[in-house]
Structure 1
Amino acid sequence: MDYCRKQLKSDCEQLLSRFQQSDSVRFEVFSEIWREMKFSHIFYGTLSSERRAFSQQVLDSACSFFLPPFTFQIRVGGLYLLYSLFHSQTAEPREPIRLALKDWEEVKKFEVDAAEAQHLDAVYILRQLLHRKAFYFTAMPGPLFFRVKRKTERLPLCESFMERASRPQELFSVDLLEELSNVHEHYERLKTSISSSAGEPDPSVNLIRRDLLPQLRNTVLDFHKWQKQKTAPCEADADGGEGTSAQQESSRRAELLASIKSKSYGQAVEASKARRHRQVEVESAGHDSGPSGSASLGDNRKLSLKARTDENMQLRGKMWKETVSSTSLCHLTTLDSVPEDAPRKFMKFKW
């Protein structure tokens, strides 16, 4: 289904561009555009064997507009698009929406922002999807294949849908900074001249910032750095599709795996229940074979299996003979202790 990714993306962009022109985030406006474009017919014409794969491809294409770095209005339109596509698909049972666990935080932030701005349509639609278990939480944004190198073509993002993140950098140019510095110096000279002519120092002179331009420049640079750190995970997801590539997260995973391995290797290996009785027998055999003269204490060589078996059989044979002889002697002594000429006592029968 990779051959239709471009067409699906262009159709979704056309729908969302019309929704962007309406300057609204209401679901009623989106549903009117949906019916005018007859967007539910996108599932018609597919074979029965391709319904599930095509539905999954459509939902994946629409889910990309629900996540950053797009504007809030486009993300709301992406949410409405997911809701409409999920209920109008022809696959039975319905194909769920794949959502990576790392993107769940962005979804929760979106819900909080929509609730604070009183956009109850978006909050209701999101909770309806959660209530109907439309999301399928996965470890990775896309499916992984064993020993298959798949390089999906990266489609360019629509710039009109993205937030104007570079607006502060565009406002503060070199010419503007020079003009600000000149105005600030002129204002400072006027203040000082007025205070000196009046004879008394004006307290408003102390309100002038001596380092206004350096502070302004450092603030813009800090914002630009924070912006890069925020947008870097999104670009990494679009390239590889295997989660965020931040160094902190990778180091945490490596430390977690190392701790798990150290704990597993540090534990003592216990014998299974089926082999524990064999250890007892070997140990008992070793203790029994110690007093015998076959193996000296100073000899470090181990006996063979046959020699140990013969030795154990001999020991067990000796023990068996001793027990038999002791029991026979006991029985004989008890029998011999009764004399033959002893009179037998009979009890008289009473009528």
Structure 2
Amino acid sequence: MQWNRSLCEEPDVGGWNSLHFAALLGLKEVVSDMLGWKKSLAYLPAGSENDRTTAINIAAGAGKVDVLHELLNHCPDCWEMLDSNGRNALHEAILYSQENVVSYLLKSRKWDKLIEDPDNDGNTPLHLLASSNFWGYVPLELKDHPRAKKMSYNKENKTPFDVAMLNQMDQQKIIFNQAKERDINIKGILSAAQMQLVVATLLVTVTFAACFTLPRGFESDVNSPNKGMAVLIKKASFRAFIITDAIAFACSTGAIFNYFYMATNPRPMSYPDLDYLWSLSKVGARSQLVAMSAVVNAFVTGMYATLAHLLGLAVTVCAIGCISFIMYVWAVLSQNAGYV
């Protein structure tokens, strides 16, 4: 800046110069040096003709009180500058919920006029305050200021009180709609869980029964040392059948316990509970997916153990049993590709 100060005045493609960026970033010393060299920099607009702002509005919106102090110290009348929407620094501070800037601007009576100035839509800072969620954080100096025109009308013929009431009604409407949407989502999740519970119960029944109706049955020879044991116990395919059947049973019962807990959970249903229910539902669904996959594997390995002496038939039956996997993968891929 020392070797080519004229660069401070050069705007970029967006119409902002060095002072505007320094104000945005809160670079107090840089702003002070620039204004010490040339005070007129504070009066140069930023942005385009239809979206114009000022250095003081930029600092106010960014909450940079130190920069505001430097701007007003070097250029005491720059507080009167407006952006393309007719908004002053106090408008901007309220618009971006900058409590520290509001407090600073209200400390001096020199800037009292900021409180009553309307923008292009006729909204005073009090109108903007009423339409925001910033009301509880703004100092009482603004709400109770003698120059705060509480009965001033904007171009929609509304006072700050009217705007505040409409904003409150809008907030209540949003809360009501969110609660309604939450209830619909909860009902949908619980309804889906009921249907999945039926499937999980059937899987438990089937896998439990399969443990006592093993392929080829049990050894019945009274003279055999393996009496009462499974006939095919030494075959790897049969052992795979037993393991996959156990996996299916465990995952199915896990899903049932999961859905049972969802149905009996006494907590009030809020948004965190909705996320919690959705997580439980996903855990149950994934458990069922593992269980169904294990059932298919149990069928394939059980049939192979039974038909191992007829290799062609065994392979054919196993291939047919795996069709369900192919159908599931096709459905998932089609949905991801947008075909379903």
Q: TM-score, normalised on structure 1?
A: 0.23
Q: TM-score, normalised on structure 2?
A: 0.23
Higher relative contact order (CA 8 A, sep 6+): 1
